[in-house]
Amino acid sequence: MRLKDLNKTWSNELKDLEFAAGYLHATLKDNDLDTFLVALRDIVQANGTIAKTAQQAELGSESRFKTLFLEGNLEFSTLQAVFKSIGLQFSVTADLGGLE
């Protein structure tokens, strides 16, 4: 049996900003940076090429962008640029259930 490429299966959903935001939000609950970066990379790939996002995010080159993703040493300003290039933004919300 041939396995499906999940990125192709979810490609249309990952182009939807609400779905993409929910996907990233869900990965944050895992408290795992690698999972978050894989999800972000999936969204970038679904919304165009990595080269296009690297250019829009002013990261210089596609190879630099891939290296940042693979090594997981993205700076906050780089993440903000990547988010902006795909139409998302960071936000912080209060977890009132966590206060005691």
pTM of this structure: 0.74
Report whether pLDDT(63) > 90.
no
Give the whole-angstrom CA distance, residue 90 versus residue 73: 18
Residue 22 binned pLDDT confidence (cut-offs 50, 70, 90): very high
Here the tokens at position 51 are 């080269």
3-state SS string for 32-61: CHHHHHHHHHHHHHHCCCHHHHHHHCCCCC
Question: How much is the pLDDT for 2?
Answer: 59
Q: What is the mean pLDDT of the segment spanning 78-82?
A: 81
Contact 65, 54 (CB under 8 A): yes
Which residues, including other chains, have CB under 8 Å from residue 15's CB and lie 6 or more apart? 46, 47
